[in-house]
């Protein structure tokens, strides 16, 4: 929620006090199976409960395990993509800010741009932590996002969740 608020404040400072309104923050993640990894399942469950109490809509997709027992996130990007297109078709947003390096959602972002017409304007921004420090990996931006928006280290430090769940 705090990152969403910070991004809106940044836009309001740039474009005017009433230019942007934060209507929804959604958090998509994978979650461990309770029987396979009760500790990590508990950590994520507590995090999601705290986010919900703060007004964030959460979507938790069960992690899948390979034959070696390693957890893999499968379906999180698909759920985010489906929701983005569904919400856009319903007219629930004009601008979506996606904080993800997962290029699997590029097709959904392109679909959103295809919804534009003379009555409707839609945009997707890709916001990611960014560093200009030598040796620090820079983010992979979504190819289809029209606006790339670095989250500065200063902003990230201000909104970082300090809680241990």
Q: Kindly state whether residue 31 falls inside one of the protein's structural domains.
A: yes
- In degrees and rounded to multiples of 5, residue 72 shows phi and psi of -130, 135
- In degrees and rounded to multiples of 5, residue 51 shows phi and psi of -65, -45
Residues 107 and 121 in one domain: yes
Please give the pLDDT value at position 120: 73
DSSP 47-112: HHHHHHHTT-EEEEEE-EE-TT--EE--SHHHHHHHHHHHHHHTT--SEEEE----GGGHHHHHHH
What is the pTM assigned to this prediction?
Answer: 0.86
Residues 70 and 81 in one domain: no
Q: Kindly state whether residue 64 falls inside one of the protein's structural domains.
A: yes
Which one has a higher pLDDT value, 131 or 35? 35
Q: Kindly state whether residue 156 falls inside one of the protein's structural domains.
A: no
Instruction: Select from 30, 54, 74 the last residue of a domain.
Output: 74
Q: What is the CATH number of the domain that holds 139?
A: 3.40.50.1010
Residues 146 and 96 in one domain: yes
Angle, vertex CA 93, rays to CA 92 and CA 94, nearest 5:
145
Residue with the two structure tokens 């969403």: 4
Q: Kindly state whether residue 161 falls inside one of the protein's structural domains.
A: no
Residues 52 and 119 in one domain: no
How many structural domains are present in the chain?
A: 2
Residues 105 and 52 in one domain: no
Q: Summarize pLDDT for 126-158 with one digit per residue, the tens.
A: 888 766 676 666 677 788 777 888 888 888 888
Residues 118 and 93 in one domain: yes
Q: Summarize pLDDT for 82-112 with one digit per residue, the tens.
A: 999 999 989 888 888 888 888 888 889 888 8
Pairing of strands 64-65, 71-72: antiparallel
Q: Kindly state whether residue 128 falls inside one of the protein's structural domains.
A: yes
Please give the pLDDT value at position 139: 73
Quote the domain boundaries for residue 56: 1-74
Residue with the two structure tokens 């309104």: 21
What span, in angstroms and rounded, lies between the C-alpha atoms of 10 and 155? 10
State how far the alpha carbon of 9 is from the alpha carbons of 131, 150, 159, in Å: 21, 15, 12
Token pair of 162, please?
């300090």
Q: Kindly state whether residue 163 falls inside one of the protein's structural domains.
A: no
Q: Kindly state whether residue 159 falls inside one of the protein's structural domains.
A: no
């Amino acid at each position: 929620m705090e990152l969403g608020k910070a991004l809106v404040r940044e836009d309001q400072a740039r474009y005017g006090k009433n230019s942007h309104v934060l209507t929804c923050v959604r958090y998509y993640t994978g979650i461990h199976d309770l029987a396979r990894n009760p500790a990590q399942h508990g950590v994520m469950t507590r995090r999601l409960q705290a986010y919900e109490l703060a007004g964030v809509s959460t979507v938790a997709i069960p992690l899948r395990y390979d034959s070696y027992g390693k957890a893999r996130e499968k379906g999180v990007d698909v759920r985010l993509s489906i929701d983005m297109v569904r919400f856009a078709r319903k007219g629930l947003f004009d601008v979506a800010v996606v904080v993800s390096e997962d290029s699997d959602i590029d097709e959904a972002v392109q679909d959103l741009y295809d919804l534009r017409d003379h009555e409707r304007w839609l945009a997707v921004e890709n916001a990611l932590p960014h560093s200009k420090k030598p040796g620090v990996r820079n983010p992979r931006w979504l190819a289809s996002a029209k606006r790339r928006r670095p989250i500065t280290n200063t902003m990230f430090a201000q909104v970082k969740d300090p809680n241990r769940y």
